Structure 1
Amino acid sequence: MSNDNQSEKKTLYNLEAIKLFLQGKDAWNAWVKANPEANVDFSGVDFSLCPLTKDLEENDFSGFEFPKGKVAFYGTKFGGGSVAFYGTKFGGGSVSFRGAQFGDGNVSFREAQFGNGAVVFSGANFGDGDVSFRETQFGNGKVTFYQSQFGDGDVDFREAQFGDGDASFFAAQFGDGKVTFNKARFGGGNVTFGGTQFRDGDVTFGGVQFGDGGVTFSGVQFGYGIVSFFAAQFGEGRVSFDKTQFRDGDVTFSGARFGGGDVSFMDAQFGDGILDFSKVELKRGRIDFLPTKCGPGKIGFCSVNFDGDIVFNPADVSEAAAIDFSGAKIEGALSIGNVETNCVVDLRLSSIKHSIDIDNPKIGFKKEHIENGYEPIVYRHLALLPYRRAAKHDAPSCFRRLKKLAKDAENHEKMLDFFAKEIQSDYGRGITGSTLTMFLLYDYLSDYGRSIKRPALGLAAFTVIYALLYSMLSVAGQGDLADFWGGLAPAMTLSIAHTLPFNFGSRFASADVINYLYGESSYSWINTTLHWLTISQGIIGGMFLFLIGLALRNKFRS
């Protein structure tokens, strides 16, 4: 019994630990077997200055086994060479590399095994060599890399396995090398990368499996490399990318699966790369993009499968190349209520169970680029009016789908808006020739039945024009007997009478004014011209009155 107590209290410390380490793996493991409960303490050791270790090119603990007590490398300086803990087995006690300083050589903990005690790398400083925790197994204790610093070498956590304790990389800093957690597995604890800074290397979490604890990347700053969560699996906890900054590399969550917790990208900022959420699955929870900022890259949600709600109301997607929800299956609610973009939102072949929130979006479409710097006024297919063609040939079908969704939501105003853009985006493609000219007139004169102001101004303008024509015709018919300016007032009366022919008093006013202006004219062409003028004014006036009535109907339609 006394021997057991001595074993539990024994600590292999500093110089003794160094001497035993230098004897090699077999001697070390034999000592551990004889002292299974001991503590091991290398705290404060400087391998580069210690006379026994300063000439070592590598500090190699590969295959070493540590006892069940505490293991401390607190503040240890490993020098400039490589450091290897390849296949090292730690006991059940806590393991601390807090404040440890590694040089510019490679550092490997590949296939190392930690027990259920806490594993601490807080404040550790890794040099510019590669760092590997590939296939490392962590126990159920807390694992923390809080404020640890990695150099410009690659950092590899592929297939690492974390237990049910919390895993924290909070405020860690990575260099320009690649950082990969592909196929790593986290247990049921919380996982946080909050405040972590990545530089310009690619960052990949492909196929990673998170447990049911919360996962946070809030405040993370990614560099200019690719950021990938391809086929990542998230558990039932909340997932947060709030205030995360993505640079200009592509960002992909394609094929990722989220559990029942909410997913938030609130105040996140995306750069110029592609943002890919294609084939993402979301169970029950809600995913928020409010008020996310997106760059000029393509935003893809095609073929997603959401059982929960999605709120896509980013603060700025005005420069996005495309917003693609084609083939999406959304059982919850979809809100794009405040989207403002110059590219069409593609919801073709989508299945949306609930009514879509489209009260306030401003969705446009990009015009075709004109080569060689020519003026963007194009005359094509015998069109008599200028127009610019839509850059995407499928824009009309995208607006057609939006129009149907607006109709299903009984939003008449947005239905008219999407109908107008459906036609406008088909100029010069499906709509050509005289048909195109008619649609252009409808567009310019009434904004597709939505403007009262345009046809009202047109009606007023043509009323004045015809008044001038009537007065000029009077001068031509009666010579010096008629004064052009003096006849302008009665000519205006005649013009208004033919503009508003449904007014009962217009007939009498028209007859009196004609007799006053033209009298017994001996020129037959005067009467013929007058007839053609009144007929044409009646047609044009009726057209403008119809457009005004149509706009009033659309405006007050419930």
Structure 2
Amino acid sequence: MTDNHESDVPTLEPQAALELWKQGSKVWNDWVAENPIYNIDFSELDFEPCRSVPSSSISFDDYRFPKGQVNFTNTHFGDGPTLFNNTSFGEGDVDFSGVFFGRFDLVFTNAKFGKGKIRFLADFGQESDVNFQGTDFGDGETDFSDSVFHAGKVDFSHCYFGKGQVTFNKVKYSHANVLFEKIYCAADFTMTSPEDLKDLSFRGATLERSLDLKKVSTLSVIDLVGTRISNQLSLFHYTYNIHREPRYRKVYTDRQKISYRLKRRYLSPLKSRRPYDSEKLNRLKELAEVNKDHGLALRANADEHRVRRWRTMSTAHSMLDMLYSGLCDYGQSILRPLLYWWLSIVMFGGVYAMLASTTTSVRQVWELMMFSAANSLPFLAQARTARGIGIDTHFVQSDMLAWVIPIVLFQGVVSVVLVFLLGLGLRNRFRL
């Protein structure tokens, strides 16, 4: 034990701290009771030789730290479980920068931090789950930026984050499922540019300030069901995927049926692989609307309709929904209805050219195209006049007049639908 010359608080140096830790939690806690104000320094230590057998656990369960700072910078814990269950870290700063936790699980359940800053710039090892369930992170700043998780699951469920900023910037997750379910956070929560994030859940969380998720990409829809956010939710450049598979999937052993199975797989309707995507998309849409993010709200609304079609609708019932999706992407596209509208003018113009009494010149073909264009705007008075002139000029002397009238009416219906979808897309695109 030596004194820290930079402050009046003495420091338990690394080797002395290690020897005291080896004596177990009771001896450690008795020493802390006699020395309540101390800095604890485990920096640069290697705990690998302290494992009784390879891959056995390193345990800080039920250890109580004094009120000073706790330093684990560049500590190597080696392979095997590392346990901090019910550990209390006192009131000072806690620094896990440069720590390597090795393979197997890291467990911090029901740990308690104080008022100081908490820094985890750590490598959480491979073949491990990371569990912070029920941990109280106190009122200091909590920073996991630039950490690396190799876990299948990173669980912060039921954690308490106090008045200090919570930051998870540029964290590498290696396709982990990250859970912040039912957390309470009294400060701003920021997650920016994570890498290889599979699933992200804030289900049932309470955030008293803002939730800032910038440039986040997940392999499924973020779960914000039951989340209460008092201030702004920011989902700048948020992207996600919806997993789907063929509705009809059978396993055949007959070689003759294999080709049928493969064709059927790609021609058959799709269904969502995740049954709760619709619920998550609905909540994402609600929060996007509240925060005036109309683009995300439209995208979530469209994907919610798709998932419902894939999950709950029969093929016959989903045809109208599929048509709506194809024509305008659920009101998101301006180009699609505009393109289909112009194609309908050309297509119906060609039909009229085949039915007209004479179409020998380029001028007559052009007039029939203009006739088709007039029919595509049936709600304009000038279009009605042009339509009457076109019928008198090209079809009165033709025995096809009985066919022309229903085709004109059908084109009018098609055009009204496409113009409406075009207006819907414009309204959604430029909505304030």
Q: Secondary structure at the match of 2:166?
A: strand
Counterpart of 2:135, as a letter, is A
Larger RCO: Structure 1 or Structure 2 (Cα < 8 Å, ≥ 6 residues apart)? 2
Distance 1:162 1:508 in 2: 98
The question of 1:377 aligning with 2:266 is answered yes
Partner of 1:531: 405
Tell me, which stretches of 5 or more residues in structure 1 are unaligned?
A: 1-92, 96-115, 142-158, 380-385
Distance 1:342 1:529 in 2: 53
Counterpart of 1:200, as a letter, is D
Task: Sort the Cα spacing of 1:535 and 1:256 in 2 relative to 1 into closer, same or farther, 3 A.
Answer: same
> Is the CA contact (8 Å cut-off) linking 2:13 and 2:40 kept in structure 1?
no
Q: Following TM superposition, by how much is the alpha carbon of 1:123 offset from its aligned partner in structure 2, in angstroms? A: 12
The C-alpha deviation readout for 1:171-209, integer Å capped at 9, x for no partner, is 323435322211111111211222223333111111111
Partner of 1:552: 426
Q: What is the identity percentage for the equivalent residue pairs of Structure 1 and Structure 2?
A: 27
Q: Following TM superposition, by how much is the alpha carbon of 1:534 offset from its aligned partner in structure 2, in angstroms? A: 0.8
The C-alpha deviation readout for 1:131-176, integer Å capped at 9, x for no partner, is 94313645999xxxxxxxxxxxxxxxxx999853222222323435
Counterpart of 1:121, as a letter, is Q
Partner of 1:257: 136
1:469 equivalent among 351, 360, 364? 351
Partner of 1:166: 39
Task: Sort the Cα spacing of 1:458 and 1:313 in 2 relative to 1 into closer, same or farther, 3 A.
Answer: same
Residues paired across the two proteins, number: 407
Distance 2:387 2:2 in 1: 104
> Is the CA contact (8 Å cut-off) linking 2:104 and 2:125 kept in structure 1?
no
> Is the CA contact (8 Å cut-off) linking 1:221 and 1:246 kept in structure 2?
yes
RMSD: 3.0
Tell me, which stretches of 5 or more residues in structure 2 are unaligned?
A: 4-9, 49-53, 252-260
Partner of 1:331: 208
The C-alpha deviation readout for 1:387-432, integer Å capped at 9, x for no partner, is x322111111111112221222233332222211211121232333
Give the TM-score of the pair, scaled to structure 2.
Answer: 0.85
Distance 2:429 2:303 in 1: 18
The question of 1:440 aligning with 2:317 is answered no
Distance 1:204 1:539 in 2: 69
The C-alpha deviation readout for 1:196-238, integer Å capped at 9, x for no partner, is 2333311111111101111111222232211111111111111
> Is the CA contact (8 Å cut-off) linking 1:464 and 1:495 kept in structure 2?
yes
Partner of 1:542: 416
Q: Which runs of at least 4 in structure 1 moved beyond 6 Å after TM superposition?
A: 159-162, 369-373
Partner of 1:71: none
The question of 1:490 aligning with 2:375 is answered no
1:390 equivalent among 272, 275, 278? 272
> Is the CA contact (8 Å cut-off) linking 2:193 and 2:214 kept in structure 1?
no
Counterpart of 1:165, as a letter, is Y
Distance 1:272 1:492 in 2: 64
Larger C-alpha radius of gyration, 1 or 2?
A: 1
> Is the CA contact (8 Å cut-off) linking 2:218 and 2:239 kept in structure 1?
yes
How is 1:29-44 mapped onto 2 (pairs within 5 angstroms)? none
Distance 1:160 1:295 in 2: 41
Task: Sort the Cα spacing of 1:184 and 1:472 in 2 relative to 1 into closer, same or farther, 3 A.
Answer: same
> Is the CA contact (8 Å cut-off) linking 1:189 and 1:212 kept in structure 2?
yes
1:234 equivalent among 86, 90, 113? 113
2:180 equivalent among 294, 301, 318? 301
Distance 1:438 1:214 in 2: 60
Counterpart of 2:318, as a letter, is L
Q: Following TM superposition, by how much is the alpha carbon of 1:451 offset from its aligned partner in structure 2, in angstroms? A: 0.9
Q: Following TM superposition, by how much is the alpha carbon of 1:557 offset from its aligned partner in structure 2, in angstroms? A: 1.2
Q: Following TM superposition, by how much is the alpha carbon of 1:510 offset from its aligned partner in structure 2, in angstroms? A: 2.5
Q: 1 or 2, which has the higher helix percentage?
A: 2
Q: Secondary structure at the match of 1:311?
A: strand
Counterpart of 1:467, as a letter, is G
The C-alpha deviation readout for 1:440-469, integer Å capped at 9, x for no partner, is 111121111111111111111111111111
Distance 1:463 1:498 in 2: 8
Distance 2:153 2:386 in 1: 68
Q: Secondary structure at the match of 2:406?
A: helix
1:133 equivalent among 12, 15, 23? 23
